[in-house]
Structure 1
């Protein structure tokens, strides 16, 4: 079980560039004058992503 967790953490952190790029795009959505629903979802994703990223980096 711990090995699987370590593998998941490594996978996430090794794909961090792509996930950071996605997060940056969603930040653009959050700051765009579009749909309120899309902005709220993008903001929520950004916040959760940053939280998970910090947690995983600390677990590594």
Structure 2
């Protein structure tokens, strides 16, 4: 998560899960060098996350 400018704002309880999501490509940040962990997630973002999870059946 060190590549993201706001990585230090990720809550401690979420760091391990977020790191796994980044490593597997489930989440890739906002595209501008930020994770924006305090922002709400849109329906479109949830749809993309679910699609990626379903494609990676070994994670389910």
TM-score of the pair, normalised by structure 2: 0.31
Greater helix content? 1
TM-score (ref. length: structure 1): 0.31
Rg larger for: 1
